[in-house]
Structure formats: structure tokens, C-alpha cells
Amino acid sequence: MKRLTKGPLRIAGAILLAGAMALAQPEGRAEALYEQIDRIFQKKEFDAPRFGPARWLQGGAAYAMVEPVAPPATGREIVRYETATGARSILVPASLLVPAGGSAPLDISDYAWSLDGARLLVFTNTRKVWRNHTRGDYWVLTVQGGRLQRLGGDAPEASLMFAKFSPDGTRVAYVRGNNIQVERLDDGRITALTSDGSETTINGTSDWVYEEELGVRDAFRWSPDGKNVAYWQFDSSGVGIFSLINTTDTLYPVITRIPYPKAGSINSAVRIGVVSESGGATRWLQTPGDPRNSYLARMEWVDDAAVAIQQLNRLQNQNDFLMGDAKTGEVRRVFRDESTTWVDLVAEVKWVDSGKAFLWVSERDGWRQVFRVPRDGGEARLLTRFEADIISVAGVDEASGWLYTIASPKNATQQYLYRSKLDGSGVPERVTPEAQSGTHGYDLAPGGRVAFHTYSRFDAPTATDVIALPEHRSLRSLTDTSALLAKVTPLLAPPVEFFKVDIGSGVSLDGWMLKPLDFDPTKRYPVIVHVYGEPAGQTVTDRWGGGRMLFHRALAQAGYLVVSFDNRGTPAPRGAAWRKIVYGTVGDLSSKDQAAAVRALSAQRSYVDAERVGVWGWSGGGSNTLNAMFRFPDIFRVGVSVAPVPDQRLYDTIYQERYMGVPQDNVEGYRIGSPINFAEGLKGNLLIVHGSGDDNVHYQGTERLINRLIELGKPFDTMVYPNRTHAIAEGPGTTPHVYRLIARYFLEHLPPGP
């Protein structure tokens, strides 16, 4: 491999050095920066090779993927790979997916096998509803005989959602028009399980806030014996309606109305019921409390008679694990997790010991750890016995007695695989080899003996292989990054520097820094701080950052020091106290920590020009950019705030109240946390960027901030992307335009170079 890349690397390095010489003049710096942005986001020259999505088969002995057929034929087929050898065979040829009378195979957006492997469910012809909700057409292929049938009867084109096989594979349940229906595959007979679905009564799918904040989308489940279906029902009547106005696509504006509960306002009333697969009355589970002031965040069948539910109270400082009787509707509490701040939802409860116990993730002891809890109640037993956080549960190998988790006890910027004994004895042991530093992810097959393994570093693109566990032996590579490495390696010099910065009072923050290629430590350089700073994400991670990381690299090559800090309150694995110190005042401490980090860094490093500091961020990072510019104007001179939340009262109930409580009970906290209330502090150059079609962080907040800045007589700049969502990615050329805009603003108001 060295011989293959030696020549191209030298040539690319020479080109880069020539480019660095061109950067000596401001015009040359700008031209090179814009060219690099186009290579990253328009031409996509540095996109990493992808693996998957793949589905495990036969307990990990094989896996399936969807791949294009060999030219000159068109379409895609489902193929099977032997895990151990990589031997490839065709499971479902594209020819079997051509409908009667058609000429082309179905385009596979998603698929699922029946449990016996006799039938294949194909999702195709999809239409976006909003965010991750899509409608489309479902077809079932009976492999033996090749029968292909479209589901839905007389349903309009692209009108079905979330179809699922019954456990015996003879029926499919799906959502149509906010109702759940079951279709028999032998004769096409359709049975309506619900009939009251409407604009405000939602059966089998979710409302906006549950989808966004709790990840509830396909909101129904077959019982293991296939005789019943459990489902969520949402009554969104009374929920405030937010209207999005599309003025660009038609002669007259089109209005999209979304029930969106803002902090402190009315939520949907939510309940869970059980209905027979043959129809009839629903038996509602008698969950306690006000259905508008609690959240039924998770629901799964435990066996044919019992449904397990996670119920959060409105403040989200209690998570009750409930067991519902499918026949009577009676509910009992098995376990309660609680905190004085907030508790996190357990993404997936894993059952062990033939369903007699379950695994629960909790911060009750100050660290995020895994406990084993008896189904019938009783004391929770700690399994991950170390003073450190687990980041997530990766899987279980119950036959060998092991629990696999992701953790990084020594470095909060990295992630590794650990294993702990399921009986709670011993201490967790690292499975990822010590020599493989960086960030690692694992998709374990059922049984936990093999896994898809992804790994990267800040300066090393993501690669994927398949490994055997517990020895972590690589069976073979699944992606080839050699071509990308040859192209991107010259752009990764000098290497990133990870560091800790002491901001006083015994607090140190993790950070990283990128420097120009021609960096001279005897000179002083302007600084651009990339910030997020909220409880939903980190920026300081030792992982490949894709296009945004390369954008920061391009800024550095233009003559900036680019840095990022994870302030207290971000979800770093540094203990519950670190994460939850911000409770009730999100936005206040983050800006103070970010300002203190810049002060400390400039005091420690003479090449940091404390008079030339800029800041930018997106979403929560946009909010913290505003906080930095308004509260610490003598530190942050230039800011680009993308899709911010200027007033926390305008964001949704579940997210904002989790970290802040309800506004009525925390008036001062919401005032302190909202940057709009500190707009009078603005002194520097500020650019606010937003999509007018943002259904998540509404453009409403930016317009209110604009009015406030006008009232205060403050000069500022604004860029609105018509009808774009929170990602500001829709439409040709949008993404490169956003990043060229950000770059141009810094070039104009924070000149690069020493």
C-alpha cells in the first residue's frame, strides 16, 4: 500500500505547498478556501466509503445487503455474505422484484424478512411526510414461487407506513390514514384494528415531539404469538399549531400546519392499548397520571400476556418501568429511576435469564452504569463495576455470561468496547485493542459472537471490518479507504492537537486545535471557535468529522486557529455531575465556560491573538454563539449563528423542559438561558442564518431576535434560506452555499493570517 500511495502523496503535497504560497495574499486565501469548500460539499471528493446497511442472518453466520445489479441490467438485489469467508450469493435477484406488467424492479427503500425467511417485505415509492416520517408502497414477495403482491387494497399510491410481518409471516400490519390495518397475505382480506384516526387522533404512529425527542415513529407492536397488537394513540387536540409557509414552490403560499407543543404548553394526550389482530374493542392499559403530563416513551411486549412501558413524568426526573397486563389493562410498577435533575430514557431494555430480569442504564450512583433488575421487583444489581460512565450498551452474549458496553474511562473524547460479567462480579475489561486509539462503534450479531466494527480518529477516515468476539479478531475489511487516504492525507497536516484547558476552580475542559500548514509559533493568529455546548451533543471527539471537519481544516489553511471546547453540561462521559450541573440554566454556564476557555488558552499560548476571536455554531451551537457574542463581546468579536434558539420558551416541551423544567416554574432560569435577553451586549459583527421552513427550531425565534436587535439599534447581518429545514440542505447548491457564506463572513470581518 505504501508503494501505491507514495507518488500521489508527494504530488498532492507539492500542490498543497504551492497553494500555501498563494495564500500569502488575502485574495489567494479566499480563492483557495472557496475552492476547497466546493471540493468538500459540491463535488464531494472526500466522501468516505460506506458499508451497509446490513442485516444479520442466522444469528451472525451471514448478513444481507442491498446492492446494484451488474451492468447492463438495472435495479438492485438482496445479496448474502458469509460472515467468516465473505462468500457472496444472491438471495433475491432483481428479476423477482418486477411487478406484473412492469418493466423495472422495485426500488428498495427498506425491507424486512418474515421470521421463517419465506417472505420479503419491500418498502418503495416513498414520500416524505416530515422529518423521519415517510409514506410509501409495500410489496410482499413469497420467495418460493416468486409471487409479488402489493399491499393496501384500494389505498392511494404511497399512503402506507411502518408495515410489519406478524410473527408467523401470514399477515402484515401497517398504518394508513392514522389507523392500523392488518392484511392477510393468502386472500388480501384487510381488517381495520382502529377506525377513529383523524388529523388529531393518531394511531400507530406518533406526533412531532415524540418523533423528534423520544424517537417514537412506528408506534405499534405485534405480540409474540401474533394474536394481538399493542399501539400508541395520540390525541393532539388542544396542542398549539405551528404553521410553516412555503412561498417558493407555487403561485400562492402553501401552509403546512404541525401540532407542536412549545415549552410549558399542552402536550398530546397519549395512551397505549391492546387490540386483537381480528379487530374489536381496544383494552387500554391503565397507566397512572395525567396522559398530557407524562410520556409513554417506550413500549414492548415481554411475552404474550405482558407489555413493558417506560413512563416519564412531565419534568422527566422520574422514569417508571411498568408492566401492563394485556388482558385486563392493569399496570404495576416494577422499577423507578429518579433524579433531582433529569433521568435519561433507556434506549432499549434487554432481557436476560429467560425474561426473569432486565438490564437498566442509570446514573443513580453518579456514573452512567448498567444494573440487572428482577422482573418481579427487588434490588437492582450493579454490573459495570468501575467509577466511570458507560456510554451505551452494545450487546449481550448471555451464553458466555458477558455484557458488552461502550465506554472510555480515561479519555472522554474517545469510545471503546468493554465487557462485564452478567453476574456482576469482577470489573469491566477493555475488548478494543489498546493500540487502536480513537472512536469505535459495534453492531453485534444476536448472541454477541461477531460484530460489524467501525473505527476512526480525528485524522483518520472511518473504516469498517467484521470481527470475532471476544478476541476482537478481524475477519476481513468491509470498506477500502486507501483511495480516500491518498486524496485527503495532504489536507490533514499539521495533525490535530487534543488538549485540556484549565479554566479555574479545578475545572478543565477538553479541546482540540487545528493550525495552518505554515504555522509559526512566534506569530499571533486569529481564532475561530466552533461551539455546540448543549446537553444533546459533543464537539470534542476523536473521530472522523467528515465534511465539517474538512471545512475547519480549510479555515485553518486559510490562516486561522480553529478550536473547539466541550463545556460542562455536554454529554461527555465525565460523570453525572459534569453533565447535570447546567440543570435549570442551560445556556448560562456554557457561555461562561467557553469564554473562560478562550481566556485561558490565550494566556497559555502566545500565538493566540485574543483580539481576533470568532465563534460559530449550528442549532444549540447557534444559540451559544449568540450567548458568546452578547455576554462576552470583548472576547468574541465575530459570530455566525446558524438556526439558533434565541428564546428557550419557543422550543418543544420534551427537550427544553427536560433540562430546564417548565417555564412557569422557572421564569428566571429561562430568562438567563435565552440569549435574546442579552442582545444589548452585542458589539461585534454577527451573522444570523436560518431556514424559513425549519419545522424543528422555528424561524420565528430568529425573527423575534431580529426585532429585538432593531429595537436596540444594533447592526447585524441575516441570511434566510427559503423553505429549508433545520439542516439547510434542500435544493441544489444549498450546502456549499451555506459553508461559503460562513467562510466569507469570517474572511471579511476576521481577516486571516498572522
Q: Does pLDDT of 377 surpass 90? A: no
At 614, give phi and psi (nearest 5°): -115, 165
7 falls in which pLDDT band (50, 70, 90)? very low
Name the packing angle between helices 734-749 and 26-37 (round to 10°). Answer: 160
Residue 378 has a pLDDT of 82
Residue 73 has a pLDDT of 83
- Cis-peptide into 752, omega within 30 deg: no
25 falls in which pLDDT band (50, 70, 90)? low
Q: Are 236 and 256 in contact (CB under 8 A)?
A: no
Per-residue pLDDT, averaged over 46-68, amounts to 94
- Domain membership of residue 617 (yes or no) is yes
Q: Collapse the DSSP code of 565 into the 3-class scheme (helix H, G, I; strand E, B; otherwise coil) and give the result.
A: strand
Q: Does pLDDT of 20 surpass 70? A: no
Q: Which DSSP string corresponds to 76-95?
A: EEEEEEETTT--EEEEE-GG
Number of domains in the chain: 1
Per-residue pLDDT, averaged over 614-618, amounts to 98
- Domain membership of residue 738 (yes or no) is yes
Question: How long a stretch of residues is the chain?
Answer: 754
Kindly report the CATH number assigned to the domain that includes residue 517.
3.40.50.1820
226-245 pLDDT, tens digit per residue, is 999 999 999 999 999 999 99
The Cα 55–Cα 66 span in angstroms is 10
Residue 2 has a pLDDT of 33
Per-residue pLDDT, averaged over 176-183, amounts to 98
- Cis-peptide into 646, omega within 30 deg: no
The Cα 173–Cα 596 span in angstroms is 55
Q: Does pLDDT of 15 surpass 80? A: no
Q: Are 675 and 630 in contact (CB under 8 A)?
A: yes
The Cα 550–Cα 530 span in angstroms is 13
- Domain membership of residue 658 (yes or no) is yes
Q: Does pLDDT of 43 surpass 70? A: yes
Per-residue pLDDT, averaged over 582-586, amounts to 96
Q: Are 629 and 623 in contact (CB under 8 A)?
A: no
Q: Does pLDDT of 223 surpass 70? A: yes
281-309 pLDDT, tens digit per residue, is 999 999 999 999 999 999 999 999 999 99
Q: What is the pTM of this model?
A: 0.94
- Domain membership of residue 215 (yes or no) is no
Higher pLDDT, 454 or 74: 454
- Domain membership of residue 627 (yes or no) is yes
129 falls in which pLDDT band (50, 70, 90)? confident
Q: Where are the beta strands (DSSP E) in 495-648?
A: 497-504, 507-514, 525-530, 561-566, 608-618, 638-642
For β-strands 608-618 and 638-642, DSSP reports them as: parallel
- Domain membership of residue 688 (yes or no) is yes
Q: Which DSSP string corresponds to 395-461?
A: EEETTTTEEEEEE-SS-TT-BEEEEEETTS-S--EE-S-TT--SEEEEEEPTTSSEEEEEEEETTEE
Nearest Cα neighbor of 544 from 619, 484, 473 is 484
For 544, the domain range is 495-749
What are the CA-CA distances from residue 301 to residues 147, 169, 230, 326, 424 (Å)?
A: 31, 18, 8, 9, 26
Residue 566 has a pLDDT of 98
Q: Does pLDDT of 19 surpass 60? A: no
Residue 72 has a pLDDT of 85
- Domain membership of residue 581 (yes or no) is yes
- Domain membership of residue 109 (yes or no) is no
The Cα 99–Cα 105 span in angstroms is 7
Per-residue pLDDT, averaged over 61-72, amounts to 93
What are the CA-CA distances from residue 248 to residues 130, 252, 256, 510, 720 (Å)?
A: 18, 8, 13, 44, 13
Q: Does pLDDT of 6 surpass 60? A: no
Per-residue pLDDT, averaged over 405-426, amounts to 97
Residue 10 has a pLDDT of 34
Q: Does pLDDT of 14 surpass 70? A: no
Mean pLDDT of the chain: 94
Q: Does pLDDT of 12 surpass 80? A: no
Percent residues over pLDDT 70 in the chain: 96
390-409 pLDDT, tens digit per residue, is 999 999 999 999 999 999 99
667-694 pLDDT, tens digit per residue, is 999 999 999 999 999 999 999 999 999 9
Q: Which residues pair with 718 in a beta bridge?
A: 688
Per-residue pLDDT, averaged over 313-337, amounts to 97
Per-residue pLDDT, averaged over 633-645, amounts to 98
240-279 pLDDT, tens digit per residue, is 999 999 999 999 999 999 999 999 999 999 999 999 999 9
